[in-house]
Structure formats: C-alpha cells, structure tokens
Amino acid sequence: MPSQGNPSRDVEHLLSLLTLEEKVSLLAGADEWQTQGIERLGVGVVKTTDGPAGARGKLMVDGPRAAFLPAPVLQAATWSKADLKWIGQLLCKEAKTKGAQVLLAPTMCGIRNPLGGRNFESFSEDPFLSGSLAIEYVAGLQETGEVQATAKHFVANEQEFERFSIDAIIEEKALREIYLRPFEMLVKSSTPPGCIMTAYNCVNGVHMDMNTRIVQGILRDEWKFDGLVMSDWGGTNSTIESVIAGCDLEMPGPGVRRGQKLLDALKSNKSADLPAAVDECCKRVLTLAKRMNLLGLSEAEVKASRRRPEISATTAADLQSLRKIVSYGHVLLKNSSGTLPLSPNTLQRKKVAFVGPNSKTCTAGGGGSASMNPQYQSHPLDAFKATTAKLGLDVEVHYAMGAYSNKWLPLTSSDQWSAQSSQQGQSMFKLEFFANADFGGPVVDTQYRNNSSIDLTDSGPASLREVAKPYSVRATSYLRPTASGKHNLSITSVGDSRLFVDGKLLIDNYNWTERGEAFYAFSSVEVSAAMEMTAGQTYNIVIETASRMSGEVDRDNPVHVWSMQPSVRVGYLEELPRDMVSEALTLANRCDYTIVAIGLTDEWESEGYDRQTMSLPGNQDQLVQTLLEQANRPESIIVVNQSGSPVEMPWAEQAPTILQAWYGGQEAGNALADVLLGLTSPSGHLPISWPRRYADLHFSNHAEVWPGVGGRVVYSEGTNVGYRWYLNEGVDPQWWFGHGLGYTSFTTSVVEVINHPQDQGWDIVVDVHNTGSFDGQQVVQVYSWPEQDPKAKELRAFEKTGSLRPGTKQRVTICVKMRDMAHWIEGQWVLEAGKYLLGLGEHAGAVDVVAAVDYVPQTTVWGV
C-alpha cells in the first residue's frame, strides 16, 4: 500500500501536476463501470458496481455469481436497524470480491405511487423510515473504509415514465420534508455516503445533474457534503452547467457531454467559472481515489486496477443470516383462521398443494439495475419439500400451475436449450460477432451465454461497442421440447433482429417501429410466432441481430449508449393446458393444504417503465377466487403474494391467510419455507401503505399528477404521501403503513416518558412482553402529532426487539427527537410551540396516546 506521506498521494499536489487534458479525463468514466486512471501520476481506477440487491460486478446479465440479496423494500419491511447494518456489511464483502470500491446503492427515492416501476428498489414511502434504515445500511457498508456507498437517485426519481426528461414540479415544503429528507438524514449522519448519484429527471425545471440550487446550494453548501457526486448512467445533460453545479463525474464513459466538448469549452473560455469548477470536481475525484488507496501507485499497479478479478465469497454463516433476514421481512397480512404456521404435527402424513405461477419458479428480485446472477436460487415448492424432508416429515407435495402471468414469453431454460446439438454443452447460446451490420466478413469475437436475455450494453466486444460503430451478432442454440404441441417463440430487440428454426425464417423483427419496454424501454415490442414441435426432437435455433443506425439515434445524447447495442431477448413457451384453474381446484380438493403463490415478476416491476395497473396480471385473481369459493376446505387456502409493490386483492376479505413475501433474492424459497413451517416467525411490517383499489387514489384520474402531461408531473399532494394521504382524506387502505402480524402476541407497556433538557426530545421507555406461544420479534412504532390535528400523525421513532421467547420481555427505549418533529416553514426547519401527543402504534391507522407534551416557551428554529 502506498505510504500516507507520499507526495503523490497529496490531492493538491497532484492537481498542480495534471494537464488540462488529464483533468478533463478524470471527470468522465473510462468505460461502463470504471473511472479514468492516469499512469504517469499513479492515479488508479475506481470501480463501481450495481447495486441495490447485491454487488453484481461489471456485467448486467450472465456475469459472475453474486449473493442475491432481498429487494430493498423487503429489507425495509424488517424495520430492523441491526439487520440493515448487517446487510451493508455483507455488501461490503461482496463488493470487494468484485474488485469494486463503490457500490451504487442504496436507492432512497420515495415510494410515491404504487405503480412506480422501481418501488421494489426503494425502502419506503416514509422519509424517516427510509433515512433511518439508510444510515445503518451505509454504516455497515463503509465500516471498513474499503467500499463507499452511493445514495441515489438525488432527487425525486419516483417514476420511470419519461424518466430521462420528466420535470417534477414540487413545492419547497414537500421537497424538503418528503423527498430530500432521507438524503439529508444520511448526509448529516456520523457516516455520510462517499458518493451521491443525481437523478435523470428535472426538478422544478432543471435537470438534476445541473441543478445548482439543489446540488451545490442544498447538498454541498447547506448540508456540507464533501463527497463525490456522479450522474446516473447517461444522465449528464450539459457540458458546462453540470460541472459548475458540482456534478463531478459523468457516467458511463467515455464521456459524451464532457471529454472533447469540455476540453473545447475550457480552451475557448466559454465560462469564467468553469476552470475553478473543473478543479473542484477533480479534487473530489482524486479524494475518492485517495480514500480507496488508489493514489501513488506504480504504472503496473494502475494497469492492474483496470483488470480486477470478480468472484463471490460468502460464508455458510452469511447465508444462514441472510435466510433469517429474508424470513423476518415477510409480512403476515392476515391469519384469521390460525392456519399458519404449518407445524410438524399438523403436516405429518398430509398432502400439500403448491399452485400459482410463482410457486415452482419464484422471482428473486425486480428488473433493471437490481438484476443479478445469483450464487444459487431457492424456489417455494422445492424449498418446502427439502425443508420438510430435513424435519423428517412424511408430506406429499404436489404442483399445478393454475394461472399464467408472464408479461413476455419466459426466458429459455438450460434444460431444453444448448449451444451444442448433443445437449451436453455447458452454455445455452453461442454468440458470433461481426464488425458490420450485415453479418459479413470474419468473426471478430465469439462468446457463450447462459441467459436468453442477451444484453450487450456492457458485454459485447469493446472494439464494437464504441460510439457509432454498427455491428451484428449471430446467436446459435439447439432446442429440445419436453412435450409435443404448438409452442411459441419470441424475440424483442434493441437492434433489428430475426429468428430462424432449422434454417427457415420464423420471426422477422427488422425495421421495427413500435417501442416496447425490454432493455430499459429501448427495445421493440415482443414479436412472437407459434409452430408445431415434437417432444425430444432437436431444433436448430439461430437469432440474428444488428445495430440500428437510423437517424433516430441521437449520438449527442448520453443514453444512446444503450440504444446503439443490438441486444436481444429470446422467449419460449410450450403449449399450456387448456384449463389450468380447474386443474388447480381438483388438486386443492385432493390435498389438506394449498399454498397459492401469486404476484408479479421482474418483467412487471423493473427499471425503465412503470406498471399500468395495480391488478394482478393474467388469470391469477380468477385462480384465487375459484379456490376460495369452490375448494372443499377454504380455510386451508394460504395465499402468498410475491411483489415489490401493492397489488389489488379483490378477494382479500374472503381469504383467511395472506402472506406478503416480496422479492427475497436467492433465499426467497428457503425463507418462505421457514415462515410457512414456523421455523421463523414473520416479523415484517409494511413500509408502505397498501391501497384497496388504485381507483381510490388521487392519481387514478389526474394525468398531470401521474404520470404527467407535457413533460411535467405535478406533485400536487404536497406532503400528503402514503399514509399521510389516507389520514388526511379519511380513507382506509387495505392495510396501513406499519401493519404486520406474527405467530405470537405482544403487550407493550409504558414504563416512563423522559423529557431531555435543552430541547432535545423525549425518551419513551417501554416493556415488550411476549404473551403468546411462539418466539417472535416486535416493532415499536412511535408517532407524534399536534393535539389539535390528529390527521397529522407522522412516524417519529421506531425500534425492533430481539427474538423473545414466550413469557419473556425486553425493555426498549425509543428516542423522539424534536428536530425530527420540525417542519419546513419559510425557509427553515421549525418546531412551533404548542402541545403535542406521542403515541404507540400497531400501524399508522391505530395509534394510542402515551404522552402529551408541552413544547414551550417558544418556537425553535434549526435553520438548514
């Protein structure tokens, strides 16, 4: 490691040695994931990696194995600061194994609307809960100093519709109290993040990467953030303005807005403020490199920093803890018949049916930046069978699909597809690359893939991915159907594409015009075709795809990096049974218990687009309704919903048991089995409000409020977001923010309320007793509101107990800080004099007063 006293590690000294060209080179990435190194001065390369559900490494698809963590919304559903800190610590280890110093997480956007495409990637609708959990997450991640967090997306990136350009119109009070507040809490904490990523969108008329008032004025001047600010990928919208605003780094590289354009602007003196702003940005890039021990390197060490190996190195203890945390994040929404847990005595020599589209193959996480190549994947049915077998139980487990819910045809399976006709190969697709758009000339590179989502954004040959160089790819595979029938194949592509079966053209997707949602919404719509196939017969499948070089590609737009790559997605579906619902009902009536696993997938919830409806896709509602109405034992029906956001459940009143499983990463199936069997008591609570119907919300018939009109979306609800809206409107949701049941019962008794001197706040000391018959954890939620306005309840503090055995108790102290009770009034944080009520809540809709406190003698101002 370079010596701390080495002058080559002094940022000011290095800055004085940099040429103008070298300064400019530091302010844009070198490639998709890394910064630029400078060999002659010993400046190494800083490597970044996504993301919110694990440290993925440098490839978006089919990259190295990595620990696939639960979606952040499940992390937040634990309401556990200790668990979030542990997740940060695990991510630190995983990022290091990918050779990365910067993790592009946590996502801290507010969950404003249940249809938001990336809701699963955020923590909560409540800024205090989001900020509190992010503080622990970042503290764990940065504990060793070897990895830095990147809080994103700063700020107001609550939708995917027109995400690169939408202008979020937000009044200052809502901006400060709801959307900026979690970032402020984190930046002002004892462990601020090393980096912040600006959002794609505009806020009140200005793109965030060049929003001087917010980035320079609020983030840097008011909050004193001195870390690095980077753009979202393709989210740099200016050359001069973004530098002056304090956005240090354009990502990805090579630079589009910066690079030669920034160099020309400096040489032509286009802005008097630009040279000093460039120096400040360079300092922050170099300071991050110094913090990561990447200054004062030899030339060989700089070169080595560009080529770090990528592995995954979790321990058995890590995976066991991860499994526990995923199970703790499950939220038991209903258990009115006491069906759960399915104890060993209950199950011995019983039959259990698993039905529903998410029962055999679950979804580990949402799509986009949160996608991973997991170390392994556990699924509900298989995990349940394995766990009951380990317990020595004699249980028959059966399966019926019951419903179809895919958005596109499913990705292909390695059980049926192989790059070799003998089906003995280790890869599904062989890719041959050509340095032109017509598959001519020599093959310049050959790759093998195990995923039929062939994303070339960061994995095509580097020589072909350069700006404005067209290229083409031929993907070859062999398919052996498991059944005879009329089977469907599909392609959707960023470039032009076509699919051949045994040399005959089946699908032509050249010269497409209608845009779809795959590949971050840069692709065509899915095009499919059906053909008769015979079980066991081998079919040669060839997919050709080529870059589109039409006039619609704006090479001056940073996001064209994605639209230039000829990525292609291949789908395949064998002919489905004619009446899946009846088949599931027949099975349910032959079994003692029926687990109905329904929900969404990473194709319904993803970066790049929002959901269009809160309804469950396909015929899932019909499946559940039929089982509840026609099954012989409706009390034995257990509905497990897997989604990152609320879905409408028109059958919720009839269903005796509903469990929200979210997206559990690689431990999704194992953790669900533990919860169903009572090996772990679910202790999750909703970090979001759960609407009964989307039509109940103000978004449903006001396009200017969602998703926006004329390039603007108006946050007209102000601070009334989530449960605040329900309280203010007097509307009951399906389930309130903070709701969550368990297998045991608790009583919480107040021991004392302590008033801290010097206007710091109050401590509420409570004893939590486990009065039931199972082990469990309890979340203590504290809300406050002015005495005269009970609709103004807001979460002010929370703590989660450890696991309590039946008959035991734990004393918990919850601190309510006056500063957290303040509101933004006329340019400053103010807590007005008056009487306030503090209450303990089962959830935001059921809060019991525990103390009335007089805040006197005068209003307190915290400034900014």
Contact 527, 491 (CB under 8 A): yes
Dihedral sign from CA coordinates of 267, 270, 273, 278: negative
802 residue type, one letter: G
**In this structure, what are the phi and psi dihedrals at residue 768, rounded to the nearest 5 degrees?**
-105, 120
Domain contains 717: no
Contact 123, 138 (CB under 8 A): no
Question: HEC profile for 318-332?
Answer: HHHHHHHHHHHCCEE
β pairing state of 809-817 and 761-770: antiparallel
Domain contains 807: yes
Percentage, residues of the chain above pLDDT 90: 87
- Domain containing 815 equals 746-863
Of all helices (H) and strands (E), which one includes residue 727?
Answer: helix 723-729
Active centre residues (catalytic): 232
Tell which residue, 778, 755, 756, 783, has the closest CA to residue 767.
778
The pLDDT of residue 190 is above 70:
yes
Q: What is the pLDDT of residue 62?
A: 77
Residues 531 and 666 in one domain: no
Q: What is the mean pLDDT of residues 413-431?
A: 86
Q: By three-state DSSP, how is residue 245 classified?
A: helix
The pLDDT of residue 796 is above 80:
yes
Residues 161 and 181 in one domain: yes
Q: What is the pLDDT of residue 357?
A: 96
End residue of a domain, out of 541, 573, 605: 573
The pLDDT of residue 129 is above 90:
yes
Residues 811 and 851 in one domain: yes
Residues 324 and 434 in one domain: no
Residues 271 and 320 in one domain: no
Q: What is the pLDDT of residue 549?
A: 64
CATH code where residue 330 lies? 3.40.50.1700
Domain contains 412: no
β pairing state of 809-817 and 823-825: unpaired
The pLDDT of residue 1 is above 80:
no
Q: How many domains, in total, are found in the chain? A: 4
End residue of a domain, out of 573, 589, 606: 573
- Residue that wins the pLDDT comparison between 198 and 552: 198
CATH code where residue 843 lies? 2.60.40.10
The token duo for 424 is: 């003995």
Q: What is the mean pLDDT of residues 312-338?
A: 96
Contact 209, 176 (CB under 8 A): no
Contact 212, 204 (CB under 8 A): no
β pairing state of 102-103 and 48-49: parallel
Q: Which of 53-62, 474-483, 523-532, 583-592 has the lowest mean pLDDT?
A: 53-62
The pLDDT of residue 708 is above 60:
yes
The pLDDT of residue 404 is above 80:
yes
Domain contains 79: yes
Give the span between the Cα atoms of 472 and 546, in whole angstroms. Answer: 4
Domain contains 259: yes
The pLDDT of residue 9 is above 90:
no
Q: What is the pLDDT of residue 461?
A: 87
Residues 401 and 447 in one domain: no
**pLDDT, mean over the chain:** 94
Prediction pTM value: 0.95
The token duo for 508 is: 């032509």
CATH code where residue 254 lies? 3.20.20.300
Residues 569 and 585 in one domain: no
Q: What is the mean pLDDT of residues 381-408?
A: 96
The token duo for 310 is: 């990528």
Domain contains 734: no
pLDDT (tens digit per residue) in 532-559: 999 999 999 999 999 886 444 455 565 5
Give the span between the Cα atoms of 69 and 372, in whole angstroms. Answer: 9
Of all helices (H) and strands (E), which one includes residue 850?
Answer: strand 846-855
Cα separations in angstroms, 651 against 42, 618, 690, 750: 64, 16, 14, 38
The pLDDT of residue 673 is above 80:
yes
Give the span between the Cα atoms of 248 and 276, in whole angstroms. Answer: 12
Band of pLDDT at residue 617, cut at 50, 70 and 90: very high
Residues 421 and 295 in one domain: no
Domain contains 122: yes
Residues 462 and 447 in one domain: yes
Q: What is the mean pLDDT of residues 720-742?
A: 97
Contact 326, 667 (CB under 8 A): yes
The pLDDT of residue 221 is above 80:
yes
Domain contains 1: no
The pLDDT of residue 163 is above 70:
yes
User: DSSP string spanning 571-631?
Assistant: EEEPPPPS-HHHHHHHHHHHSSEEEEEEE--TTTSBTTB--S-SSPSTTHHHHHHHHHHHS
Residues 670 and 625 in one domain: yes
Residue with tokens 């598959």: 439
Which residues fall within 8 angstroms of residue 136, CB to CB, at 6 or more apart?
A: 81, 82, 84, 85, 88
Which residues fall within 8 angstroms of residue 333, CB to CB, at 6 or more apart?
A: 658, 659, 660, 690, 735, 739, 740, 741
Residues 17 and 140 in one domain: yes
End residue of a domain, out of 305, 329, 350: 305
CATH code where residue 510 lies? 2.60.120.260
Residues 359 and 264 in one domain: no
